[in-house]
Amino acid sequence: MAPRVSVIVPVFNDPAGIALTLSSLLEQTDDDFEVLVVDNNSTDDTRAVVREFAARDSRIQLHVEADIQSSYAARNRGIRHATGELLAFVDADVTVEPDWLEAVVARMADDVSYLACAVEIYSPGTETFAGKYNRLTDLRVDYFVSRLDFAPTCCLVVRASLIEELGPFDDRLTSSGDLEFGNRVAAAGYPLGFAANIVARHPARTSVRSLVKKAIRIGHGKTQLRELYPARYGRPRRGLVNPGAYLPPTPRALRTLVAGWETLSVREKVGVFALFYLLRLAKAYGQLEAAFAAQDRRSQGTRQPRLSGRA
């Protein structure tokens, strides 16, 4: 008999993170599930860690996506091998409470096809300023669902039938594949559910460097979205000439996007402002970098790889 839920976990070079996630999933009170870990060409001990867990529990499977270096390609490979009615996506290093799966199944029973879970960002160990910034600004899932029509893939649950109807993630995207998929679901007329009481815990990024790298990757995704879906997101040039991509944040934006802004000290507010602006410029740099890469592809006559579907 097929399990009710297939939990799909992409991973790349993160043996400690995947161990945390698998330990968390194996503590679930509802045991009607399978876990498909998809390794995206790791070069360290990640696969060995997954194999150790799989040897102890048959619900855990290891799959490998070596053809395309993309978390969305890894998720799509998991989708192709999944047998559950529900597909739950979490990231390696995310942990959940023992009743998480039970709560997900109960919520999806209300004829929900797309469900975003809440995310609690926490700082492991002593909190750095970058970690605090990440905790206060990132993964505001309620905002993403209500204002941007998507949920991040670290805390998303969908019906398998929805993937069969609308297709999988677009693995040509470096970033924002979750945004594109959520927008596609909303455009098809499906309501996007949000469960504030179903929580996944995600460790904060603790260095400015890691935040900058993520911002550049998001910038890549923005340009790719415009290149691949100009009717929905506008032409790439439009994003590059938008002055908002280069201007500092306004106080109104900071009050909206930074949790607990009013409780911060003046020094903290100045630091948050500076880091917010730095990351905005990093996103703009990422957009420019992706635009030049796209121009190179066009000049060489090459194309983006195909969107992979579900078998």
User: What pLDDT score was predicted for residue 307?
Assistant: 42
Confidence band, pLDDT 50/70/90 cuts, at residue 211: very high
Cα–Cα distance, 27 to 30 (Å, whole number): 9
Stretch among 91-95, 127-131, 227-231, 241-245 having the lowest mean pLDDT: 241-245
> What DSSP assignment string belongs to 130-175?
HHHHHHHHS--HHHIIIIIS---TTEEEEEHHHHHHH----TT-SS
Name the strand (E) or helix (H) holding 289.
helix 266-300
Contacts 24+ apart (CB under 8 A), 262-270: 268/132
Is 2's pLDDT higher than 70?
no
Is 308's pLDDT higher than 60?
no
Rounded to 5 degrees, what are φ and ψ at 204? -75, 155
Confidence band, pLDDT 50/70/90 cuts, at residue 296: confident
Average pLDDT across the chain, whole number: 91
Confidence band, pLDDT 50/70/90 cuts, at residue 182: very high
Is 310's pLDDT higher than 60?
no
What are the boundaries of each domain within the chain? 5-204, 209-300
Kindly report the number of other CB atoms within 10 A of residue 164's CB atom: 12
User: What pLDDT score was predicted for residue 302?
Assistant: 59
Is 262's pLDDT higher than 60?
yes
Is 128's pLDDT higher than 90?
yes
* Choice between 310 and 143, residue whose per-residue pLDDT is larger: 143
Among 3.30.70.150, 3.30.360.10, 3.40.50.2300, 3.90.550.10, name the CATH number for the domain at 5-204. Answer: 3.90.550.10
> In one letter, which amino acid is 202?
H
Stretch among 107-116, 185-194, 235-244 having the lowest mean pLDDT: 235-244
Is-contact 119 152, C-beta < 8 A? yes
Is-contact 76 169, C-beta < 8 A? yes
Is 295's pLDDT higher than 50?
yes
Confidence band, pLDDT 50/70/90 cuts, at residue 207: very high
Confidence band, pLDDT 50/70/90 cuts, at residue 300: confident
